[in-house]
Structures are given as C-alpha cells and as structure tokens.
Amino acid sequence: MENDYAFEIAASNIRFGPGTTREIGMDLAEMGIKRVMVLTDAALCRLPPVAVALESLASRKIEYALFDRVRVEPTDASFQEAIAFAKAGAFDGFVAVGGGSTMDTAKAANLYSTYPPGDFLDYVNPPIGKGRPVPGPLKPLFAVPTTAGTGSETTGVAIFDLERMHAKTGIAHRRLKPTLGIIDPENTRTLPPQAAASTGLDVLTHAIESYTAAPFNTRPRPESPIMRPAYQGSNPVSDLWSLQAMRMIAKHLIRAVENPGDDEARGQMLLAAAYAGVGFGNAGVTLPHGMSYPVSGMVRNYRAAGYPAGHPLVPHGIAVVLNAPAAFRFTAPACPGRHLQAAEALGADVSRAKPEDAGRILSDLVIGYMRRLGIPNGLGAIGYTREDIPKLVEGTLPQHRVIKLSPRPVGAEDLARVFEDAMKYW
C-alpha cells in the first residue's frame, strides 16, 4: 500500500490567563447560546472552578443544567448516562469543567446527542468499533481544564473504558475538538499533589510519544482526505509543540507538584499540557498509552492516593508512565536521535551520548521523575504479576490507533517483553 504524502494540522483554540473562567458567559452570550449542559464530577462540583463558571453563566442569563456525575476514568456506561442527559436537555452548547474525564465525556455527549448513531460503537476506533467519521459540525463546547495533564481541551479524542473488554478505547476525530479551551491557572489551586504528579506525567509522556512517533509519511495513505486520522504520526508542526512542552516540563513539573502554592509553575504546567495536546492531538501517542489501557481496565484492588473514586483506580497518567521507561528502551533503536533530542529537551546532557545509549538515557530520566514524585515502582507495585502479561498483551493489541504509530513495529511477543520489563524499575 502506498504511504501517505501529507499531514494535516487542526488548529486548537485556547485562551490562557488567570481569571479567564469568568469570561465563559460573555463568550456564550456573544454566540447566541441560550441553554448549556455543564459537566463536572461529584468532587469538583463543590469547588471554586465550577462555582465561578456557573456564576459567569448566570451573570449573562444563560440557562444551564448541571451534570455532576462524570466518572473519573469514564466507561461506556458513564458516557451513555451523560449522552442520555444531553439528549433530554435540548442544549445548544456544552461547558466542561474538570480533568480529561470530564472533557472527554462532554465530547461524547455532544457527538452522540447531535448525531445519534445506529450503534454506540459506530464512532469508536477500529478494530473495536467502526471508526465512522463525525458527520458534520458539532455544537459549541467550552472546555475548562482543572488538571494540567490530558490536554483534552485541545484534542479531538475522547477516551473511555469499554467494560466488557476490560480495556480502554476511544473516539477520535478533528470535529470533536472543543470550540475553546479556557486555560485558567486559578483552577489548579485545589488539585492535590498526587493528582498533579499523575497528570503532569501524562503531559510528559504525551510530549515524548508524539515526538518519537513514526513519521506521518510512513503511514498508509487514506482513501480520501476525510479518512486521514487525527493521529497521523510525527510531523514538523507537532514536533515544535511537543519539544516546547518538554522544555516547560523540565522547568515546572517538580515545582508544581511539590509546592501547590507556586502559581507560576501550576500555570506553566497547564500551558505545557495544552502545548503537548496540540502536539499529540495531531501526531498521536504510541506504546506507553496503548499499553496503559489494559493496565487501567484490568485493575483489581489498587486505589491511588489523592483520588476520590470509590472503585479500584489506576489514574491515567500513572498507568501510562509505568510503561514508559520499558517502552522507550524498546523503541529507541528505531530512532535514537529523536529519543536523545527528547532527553535533551527534558534537561539531560547528551553531548557525549552514542545512539545505542538513547533508550537508557531517556528511560532513566523518566524513572528519575517517577521516583522524585512518588510513583509506584512498576506494574508489580500496583498488583500485576508476570501471570497477567498475556491478558495485558491481549488488551493492547487492538489499540491500532496508537500501537501502529510505534517507530519500531511491535507484535505480541515484543509487547510481552516490554510488559515484563515494566514490572519493576529500581
């Protein structure tokens, strides 16, 4: 099959600055929006970010209905609940205040209530779903992140757990991108340090994975431009955003976690999340994310500190970074220069590094962040054993959208070795 010859960059609209949450009502009023669905989770609904957003809507006499049942790490069932709420509400716009779970749930509610499919899996990424493109424009969606991590305010991706498979999958299309991402540093002041660490490491892996992904012109050419995937491989524009995100992470991640009152660091990590979101939203992520989906979906008893969920939970950023060092050791031989450039952007001295050192240098750097931020020591520390590896591999193989972007081709035996390497790091 002929390889692609083009890449496409979908713009992400963002507004950055302290207090910008107060402007949502003005924006919606100027667009003629009369009634919106406001999505958040049960913990955040009692905190200032939601209160400020609702006050802004009320000040402009915009009618709203609050949906505060977003599930941390959403499932197909929790998506369906939000979709039913959206269908019944006759909304002409959406406002999401929260982390990636909230923003992704809002994207799904917008899509499925605007263009109801014949089957829930119609829009879901193949091979699990049919991967049908979004038929037309969606209703306005304003995304207000309260975590510096997913970058979902900039992407056309919505991730969820498909419960019957015990694995994550998602929906990806450029039309899912929020109308505007409101990046307000005031909104992360209530973020617990443990959550700041998890979400910050998600930014880290987003940036590295998108920069080291297989190039766009090594992917098969689509039958038509509309079928060109959002995750299209590394490209010259995404590279700029991903590298800058890494430089910002090197300066601000540790500060943002260890000193919650450091408003500059928290604000810069929010901005870094958006930068990385533009990078991976147009390039894609690779093995650490693909491997994370069954890690999250198969969790038995682990409950992360600092998270209010009443169910076993491996936060997304932790599920991803636990795989990252092993994955980068595996992928580095395919493009050692890119792995070294990523390490350099994150602060490593690579002036004397040899190509064969790339995987070790980058993985050691990531492990250093994990140890400093109190992340569990590999998959074994959250309850997985070598006996789980076949099921973890089985849950990773269907993640074509991301594992096919690995710069080094990966099969079942390769994945088994990478998972084994990820069981313990120090």
Looking at the fold, whether 92 and 161 belong to one and the same domain comes out as: yes
Q: pLDDT tens across 76-94, in order?
A: 999 999 999 999 999 999 9
Last residue of a domain, one of 152, 183, 214: 183
Domain with 224 in it: what CATH number?
1.20.1090.10
Q: How many CA atoms lie within 13 A of 305 on its CB side?
A: 7
Q: What is the pTM of this model?
A: 0.91
Q: pLDDT tens across 324-334, in order?
A: 999 999 999 99
> Within a domain: residue 345?
yes
Average pLDDT score over residue span 353-372: 97
Q: pLDDT tens across 250-287, in order?
A: 999 999 999 988 999 999 999 999 999 999 999 999 99
| pLDDT the model gives residue 309 | 59
Domain with 162 in it: what CATH number?
3.40.50.1970
In 259-399, which residue ranges form alpha helices assigned H by DSSP? 263-283, 287-297, 316-321, 324-331, 336-345, 358-372, 389-396
Which residue in the block uniquely carries the two structure tokens 């079928």?
Answer: 227
Looking at the fold, whether 402 and 262 belong to one and the same domain comes out as: yes
Whether 308 shows a pLDDT value over 70: the answer reads: no
> Within a domain: residue 175?
yes
Last residue of a domain, one of 162, 183, 204: 183
Last residue of a domain, one of 183, 214, 229: 183
Count of structural domains within the chain: 2
The enclosing H or E element of 80 equals: helix 76-89
Q: Are the C-beta atoms of residues 86 and 96 closer than 8 Å to each other?
A: no
Q: Are the C-beta atoms of residues 81 and 69 closer than 8 Å to each other?
A: yes
Looking at the fold, whether 227 and 154 belong to one and the same domain comes out as: no
- Please give the structure tokens belonging to residue 322: 């636990």
Task: Give the domain extent around 241.
Answer: 193-421
| pLDDT the model gives residue 336 | 98
Looking at the fold, whether 137 and 169 belong to one and the same domain comes out as: yes
To the nearest whole number, what is the mean pLDDT of the chain? 94
Looking at the fold, whether 178 and 42 belong to one and the same domain comes out as: yes
Going by the DSSP 8-state scheme, the letter that residue 223 receives in this structure is S
Looking at the fold, whether 123 and 153 belong to one and the same domain comes out as: yes
> Within a domain: residue 10?
no
Strands (E), 108-252: 141-145, 157-162, 167-172, 180-183
